[in-house]
Amino acid sequence: MNRISYKVWAGVLVAVAFSLFAACAPVAAPAPQVVKETVVVPQTVVVPPTGAAASVPRVALIMSGKRADQSWNQYMSDDVSQLEKDGKIQVSYAEDVTPADFERVAGDYASQNYDLIIAHTADFTEAALKVAKQYPNVKFAITGGTQFLPNVAGLNTWNHMSAAAAGYLAALLSKTKTVGIVGAFAYPTQFVAHEGFKFGVFRANQEALKADKTAKQVHCLETFTNTWFDTALGYEAAKAQMDQGADYIYISASGAGFGVIKAAEETKKAYVIGSFVDMNPFAPDVIVTSDVRHALLPLEAVLADIQAGKFEGKDYSFDLTNGGTSLAPYHNFDSQIPQDVKDKVRKFEQGIISRQILVPFVTAKLAGETKCEAPIPSS
């Protein structure tokens, strides 16, 4: 607590008031103190008031797996941890929480008046909405969330645009003219990434056909493994796609994704585009780049609104256009990727950021399976 004295010269009494703001519960201010002092000076000095520092918000991060999973949980826990290191929040972590147990875990945090409870997977949505109704004064944020209440928001880094850049890159690099996507479940959040990737391939095909109507188009393979964690299923899905000619595979699931990486390392038939964090250090010989998410921006936006009393039940979302996602560096592949390909990818990204290229935001495949092939121009 800072004590600030305001002196009004020529024998005037000065009152000094102290206030302590707490984000989790109000605390009564101490009784005012009165200081008497007389100083003979030729002029009056006025000191403007300064606001009292607010206490650090308490945040609970509830995850379905381990913090250090080098994937989905890692990107969020790393940015939450950074905010704590910067002294902006206090954090409590809950790992390996199932949807069935979320209500108990979140309810415990809510009963302690945590300022923000993060449900770090859309799988927690139903339980989070239920707990939020029981604790209307506690704020909740759901990663991948699309259902809101006055105290429940979405905390999202939508990656359809960065996935499109990944698909565009894969299409330009593919020698077999076949690329793959391996995900977890046919969920809205997965569709956002997968359809974005397909759009990038589609645009590359479109450009190739514009230059040469006889150009062979890049074909997309897509597999949902129906698991977030089983590496064996990801491994088998990758091998099946490789057998069909896929030489670049984009992953959008944690455990299953590591199965894809293992298959690529063993067979040396395909390269991988990772997700969530820069995965190249995990497998530098096969991971060309990654579709990285940056949670700091939506986290800071949510926390700012909570502290200002302006929190809304809405989607606090960021994407490629405003720093929410990006493609990771090419690392040791940088010298192997032709400069013209890197230039094209950069130009494609800039077209998205400037809104000259509009990437579809798809959360449901209402018309069935989508293709990467573009129509052959008539002229």
Checking if the pLDDT of 306 tops 90, the result is yes
Instruction: Give mean pLDDT, residues 159-179.
Output: 98
Does 37 have pLDDT greater than 70? no
Mean pLDDT of 120-138: 97
pLDDT score for 10: 32
Query: What are 66-96's pLDDT values in tens digits?
Result: 999 999 999 999 999 999 999 999 999 999 9
What pLDDT was estimated at residue 365? 80
Structure confidence at residue 54 (pLDDT): 56
Spatial distance between the Cα atoms of 103 and 99, rounded to a whole number of angstroms: 8
DSSP class of 329: P
Considering the four listed CATH numbers 1.20.1250.20, 3.40.50.1370, 3.20.20.140, 3.40.50.2300, the one that applies to the domain covering 58-157 is 3.40.50.2300
Give the tens place of pLDDT for each residue, 207-223. Answer: 999 999 999 999 999 99
Burial (Cβ within 10 Å: 0-12, 13-18, ≥19) of residue 310: exposed
pLDDT band for position 46 (50/70/90)?
very low
When the pLDDT of each residue in the chain is averaged and rounded to a whole number, the result is 88
Structure tokens, 151: 């105290």
pLDDT at position 165: 98
Q: What is the pLDDT of residue 378?
A: 79
Q: What is the pTM of this model?
A: 0.84
CATH 3.40.50.2300 fits 160-292+325-353, yes or no: yes
Q: How far, CA to CA in Å, does 189 sit from each of 111, 359, 363?
A: 30, 15, 7
Listed by start position, the domains of the chain span 1-44, 58-157, 160-292+325-353
C-alpha to C-alpha distance for 240 and 247, rounded to whole angstroms: 12
In angstroms, the CA 376 to CA 317 distance is 36
Domains 58-157 and 160-292+325-353 share a fold: yes
Going along 267-372, which residue ranges are E strands? Answer: 271-276, 287-293, 315-318, 325-327
Does the pLDDT value for residue 97 go beyond 90?
A: yes
Could you give the strand order of the β-sheet that contains 325-327, starting from the edge strand earlier in sequence?
A: 219-224, 178-183, 248-251, 271-276, 287-293, 325-327
pLDDT band at 160 (very low <50, low <70, confident <90, very high): very high
Residue range 41-51: mean pLDDT, rounded: 39
